[in-house]
Each structure stands twice: as C-alpha cells, then as structure tokens.
Amino acid sequence: SVYHVFESVAKKYDIMNDSMSLGIHRLWKDTLLHQMNPYPGTQLLDVAGGTETNAGDIAFRFINYIRSQWDHQIRQKLKSHQNLSWQEISKSYQQEENELPGGSQVVVCDINKEMLKIGKQKAQHLGYSEGLSWVVGNAEELPFIDNKFDVYTIAFGIRNVTHIDQALQEAYRVLKPGGRFLCLEFSQVNNPLISRLYDLYSFQVIPVLGEIIAGDWKSYQYLVESIRCFPAQEEFKAMIEDTGFLKVEYQNLTSGIVAIHSGFKL
Ligand SMILES: C[S@@+](CC[C@H](N)C(=O)[O-])C[C@H]1O[C@@H](n2cnc3c(N)ncnc32)[C@H](O)[C@@H]1O
Ligand SMILES: *[C@@H]1O[C@H](CO)[C@@H](O)[C@H](O)[C@H]1NC(C)=O
Ligand SMILES: *[C@@H]1O[C@H](CO)[C@@H](O)[C@H](O)[C@H]1NC(C)=O
Ligand SMILES: *[C@@H]1O[C@H](CO)[C@@H](O)[C@H](O)[C@H]1NC(C)=O
Ligand SMILES: *[C@@H]1O[C@H](CO)[C@@H](O)[C@H](O)[C@H]1NC(C)=O
C-alpha cells in the first residue's frame, strides 16, 4: 500500500522528528487536546494535518478524546440512575452506526494530496474511520462553507503558510459563531539560559542529526530557520486579534519553545 511504501521512507523522518523533539511533540499535542476539551458532537477542522510522519496526530487524538468523554458520560449516567432497566442501559450505549459519539466529525485538510493519502492509510491501519474525512485544500482558501466548524486547529502548519493573515481570515470564516481557533506552533523561548541552549541545539545539533539520520541537512536547516522567522507570541496574538477573534490568549509550553494560541469567533 501507499502507506507502507511511504512508511519506510518516512521512518527516518519519524525517528528524526521524534529524537529532535525528544518525543515531546506528543505531549504538546495532548495539551492541545486538553485545551480544546471537545465533547460528543464537536465538529473539528484540522488544517495542515497531513505530513509523512504525523498525519492524523490531532484527528486521532480528537477521536480518542471524544470516545473517552462519551464513555465517561455514560458511566456517570449509570451511576446516577442505578435503577435503570437493562433496556434503558443498552439504549444509552447505543450509537448511530458509522458515527462518532454525538455525531462528532473531524475533517483533516492539507494542501498536499500525497500527505492525505498517507493519513488515510494510517487511519485504516489504526482502525479510525467513523466521523473522519480527508480533504485537499489550501489554508489560505479553504474549500468549506462559512460557519461550519466548532473548532479549527493547525499544528506546526501555519509557519509554512505564505499569507498567514489570509489563513487566519479563512479560519474565522469557516468557524461557527462561538467557535474556537487553536494553533500549536514553534515560538520564542523566554528563558535566557534555555534560549542559549536551544540555539545551540537548533543550529549545531539538529542539522547534523538530520544529515546522519535522514540524510537531509537542508530540510532541517530550513526548519530551524523558519522557526526563528515566525512571529513571537505577542505579535502572533495581535495578528489573531486583527482578524476579529476575541478573548485571544496563548500558553507557552516548554519555556516557549512552542505556544498554543487560542481565540474565539463571537
Ligand atoms: C509540519 S507538517 C504538519 C504536522 C502535523 N500537523 C503535526 O501535527 O505534526 C506541515 C503540513 O502543512 C501542510 N501545508 C503547508 N502549507 C499548507 C497550506 N497552505 N494549506 C494547507 N496545508 C499546508 C504540508 O503539506 C504539511 O503536511
Ligand atoms: C429511577 O430513579 C430516579 C431518581 O433516582 C427517578 O427519577 C426515575 O424515575 C427512576 N426510574 C425508574 C425506571 O424507576
Ligand atoms: C513550506 O515548506 C516547503 C518545504 O518544506 C518550503 O520549500 C517552502 O518554502 C515553505 N514555505 C513557506 C512560506 O515557509
Ligand atoms: C511566553 O513567552 C514569551 C516570549 O518568550 C514572553 O514574552 C511571555 O511573557 C510569556 N507569556 C506567558 C503568558 O508566559
Ligand atoms: C519533521 O521533519 C520534517 C522534515 O523536513 C519537517 O518538514 C517537519 O516540519 C518536521 N515536523 C515537526 C513537527 O517538526
């Protein structure tokens, strides 16, 4: 399958990306999901969710989160109504087939068709199918109607978008009133000592690792450079506010190596 072909090629990148962030990107993504705290019924759009190695990272976490919320709700319900008949119990477990709890849906959108193919194969491989779809599209010109989603996420993706302001406007457009924008991206380190170490690591170690593990110095050189060029926390926050989002906030993770920006369309 396509997945398996890419899997072997991507494996080196996988090892590289994991060793580069020491696997911490998984924790950052878990934190994003906790901030989102979706409930059964939430409609999510995950933009730039493709990628050789990390395809579906947000979508699969979302599905797991929705399922565990649902299980939790049912358990609470059973606890508070211990006199329910078995018919009532089995009814409360019942779900529409081919649906996530509450009819939740997640759409993964990426500009790169090949990346989405890999994501699809990976989903099949891991047994995710209900409520999950894959759409080719540009963050700057999303192929969705207005006011469609409850949450918009973009993880390590907006840095690579040419017109960030346009992508933000599109995020705003496709969100429902009350909907939330969440962005996980590399940011600026706030501690001077950690900043020194981080610079050393970024410029002296990462490209070398990239060459040794993936045979690709250039991509990782570009990666660390693009991280430095991305607007700092406050500047990016102002851009999100300029788009019209309200209650814009951010959280620094790992001393600001990455940040989660959040805003609401009201
Ligand atoms: C670093 S990867 C994203 C990683 C993934 N979201 C994760 O959580 O680890 C960047 C992705 O952004 C996609 N991308 C780049 N420019 C885009 C655009 N303008 N619109 C949509 N996707 C884009 C690329 O195809 C690539 O799959
Ligand atoms: C079960 O108990 C709850 C209150 O604890 C009550 O409201 C409900 O009507 C009862 N249901 C049945 C089927 O007896
Ligand atoms: C996006 O990423 C590709 C490949 O990694 C790179 O060639 C391109 O210049 C990037 N675009 C922007 C705007 O950063
Ligand atoms: C996060 O880090 C940035 C830049 O390093 C710093 O200016 C800001 O005060 C920090 N913000 C919070 C909320 O910790
Ligand atoms: C993983 O490595 C690739 C290799 O170029 C890079 O494009 C991508 O941005 C990396 N992903 C993360 C989350 O750093």
Q: Residue 250: enclosing H or E segment and its boundaries?
A: strand 246-253
Count of C-beta atoms within a 10 Å radius of residue 167: 24
Q: How many angstroms does the Cα of residue 226 sit away from the middle of ligand 3?
A: 9
Residue 100 has phi, psi (to 5 degrees) of: -80, 160
d(CA 6, CA 117): 10
Crossing angle of helices 113-126 and 2-20, in 10° steps, is 90
SS3 178: strand
Residue 14's pLDDT is what? 67
Among residues 166, 203, 186, 182, the alpha carbon closest in space to that of 248 is found at 182
The parent domain of residue 132 ranges over 2-59+105-264
Give the ligand whose atoms come closest to the C-alpha of residue 79: 2
Q: Which of 261, 260, 264, 214 is nearest to 27 (CA)?
A: 260
Ligand 2 touching residue 83 (CB < 6 A): yes
Query: At residue 202, what is the residue type?
Result: S
**Any residues with CB less than 8 A from the CB of 138 and at least 6 apart, and which?**
111
**CA distance linking residue 43 with residue 38, whole number of Å:** 9
- Whether 64 is covered by a domain: the verdict is no
Cα separation, 6 vs 51, in Å, equals 11
Cβ(226) to ligand 3 under 6 A? yes
> Going by CA atoms, what residue is nearest to atom 4 of ligand 5?
219
Ligand nearest to the CA of 52: 1
Which ligand is in closest contact with the Cα of 51?
1
Give a yes or no: residue 66 inside a domain.
no
C-alpha span between 262 and 152 (Å, rounded): 10
Q: Is 138 annotated as a binding residue?
A: yes
CA 167 to ligand 5 center in whole angstroms: 20
The verdict on residue 196 lying in a domain is yes
Give the ligand 4 atom nearest the CA of 188.
Answer: 5
Per the structure, the count of domains in the chain is: 1
The answer to whether the CB of 81 is under 6 A from ligand 2 is yes
CA 266 to chain centre: 22
Integer Cα distance of 85 and 88 in angstroms: 5
Identify the residue whose C-alpha is closest to ligand 4 atom 4: 190
Q: Is residue 74 part of a domain?
A: no
**CA of 109 relative to ligand 4 center, distance in Å:** 30
CA distance 188 to 222: 17
- Contact residues for 201 (Cβ-Cβ < 8 A; gap 6+): none
The reply to whether 129 falls in a domain is: yes
The answer to the question of residue 143 being in a domain is yes
Q: Looking at the CA of 158, which ligand is closest?
A: 1
Q: Which residue puts its alpha carbon closest to atom 6 of ligand 2?
A: 81
What is the 79 CA–ligand 5 centroid distance (Å)?
46
Per-residue pLDDT of the chain (266 residues; tens, 9 = 90+): 444 544 455 566 667 777 777 788 999 999 999 999 999 999 999 999 987 678 899 999 999 999 999 989 888 888 887 777 878 777 777 766 789 999 999 999 999 998 898 889 999 999 999 999 999 999 999 999 999 999 999 999 999 999 999 999 999 999 999 999 999 999 999 899 999 999 999 999 989 988 888 888 888 898 899 999 999 999 999 999 999 999 999 999 999 999 999 999 99
Distance (Å) from CA 12 to ligand 4 centroid? 33
Q: Which pTM does this prediction carry?
A: 0.88
Are the C-beta atoms of 94 and 28 separated by less than 8 Å?
no
CATH number, domain at 165? 3.40.50.150
Find the 136 Cα to ligand 3 centroid distance in Å.
17
Domain annotation covers residue 110? yes
In a domain, 17, yes or no: yes
